[in-house]
Amino acid sequence: MIDMGDITRVQQRIAQLQKSFMGLQQVPGAVGFDAQLQQAIAAQKAAEAAKGQASGANAAQPASKTNAAASASKATLPVNVGTGLKAVSDLPAADGDLATMVQDAARDQNVDARLVNAIAQAESGGDQSAVSPVGAIGVMQLMPDTAAGLGVNPYDKKQNIEGGAKYLREMLDTFGGDVKKAVAAYNAGPAAVKAYGGVPPYPETQAYVDRVLDLYR
């Protein structure tokens, strides 16, 4: 890089030389040294200005690249099958209300909250909007007539869970606290469990009992 202090000294020296050789005739069409030096200085300044602009553009570039990358990444996030939601970062927070409702209902009915939660997960995955092909409604999948007998509104999440916990309490009382039979009765009905003296030989009920007990343990 040209030192501007050196340039100034060179210019002063040139001025002295020009005074000394003022009488000499300049070659026609030739560019004087001073003019050449001025051109060099101008070129150097232009190059430095261009470099400064390029540096500024480069400094701003990472942010724009980051924004573009983020936009591209967001646009291509895989859709979570079955929910229509984006990947993990876009999923909703866990339903804290569900845990509270399960705890409250279990306490009111003197039932193990872990068992109520296991049934809620096996029945609907804790989803109040779930409706089975036969018409069971909500978190613990109450049939309308069962809900009516329990005195709850199955479309209200809190009441639905309360009704499910109450029905489970009834099944436990019916079968002397036998958790396995009570769970089977929750799925297949108490009459079927009484008829077979235990878990009915229905593949659906057997799989259901195994799932609930696995979640409960």
**What is the mean pLDDT of the segment spanning 126-144?**
96
Q: If we measure between CA atoms, which residue out of 119, 117, 124, 89 comes closest to residue 185?
A: 119
Q: Which domains does the chain have, with CATH numbers?
A: 96-216 (1.10.530.10)
Rounded distance between C-alpha atoms, residue 161 and residue 150, angstroms:
11
Bigger pLDDT: 18 or 65? 18
Structure-model confidence comparison of residues 32 and 71, the more confident one:
32
The pLDDT of residue 171: 98
Confidence check: pLDDT of 34 > 70: no
**How much is the average pLDDT of 165-193?**
98
SS (H, E, C) the chain: CCCHHHHHHHHHHHHHHHHHCCCCCCCCCCCCHHHHHHHHHHHHHHHHHHHHHHHHHHHHHHHHHHHHHHHHHHHCCCCECCCCECCHHHCCCCCHHHHHHHHHHHHHHCCCHHHHHHHHHHHHCCCCCCECCCCCECCCCECHHHHHHHCCCCCCHHHHHHHHHHHHHHHHHHCCCCHHHHHHHHHHCHHHHHHHCCCCCCHHHHHHHHHHHHHHC
* Residue 71: per-residue pLDDT: 37
Return the pLDDT at 3: 56
* Res. 4 pLDDT band, cuts 50 70 90: low
Question: Which amino acids are annotated catalytic?
Answer: 123
Q: Name the pLDDT band for 40 (thresholds 50, 70, 90).
A: low
* Residue 112 confidence (pLDDT) above 70: yes
What's the CA angle centered on 17, arms 15 and 23, to 5 degrees? 105
Identify whether the C-beta of residue 130 lies closer than 8 Å to the C-beta of residue 184.
Answer: no
Task: Using the structure block, give the residue that is written with the tokens 């232009």.
Answer: 46
Whole-model pTM over 0.85: no
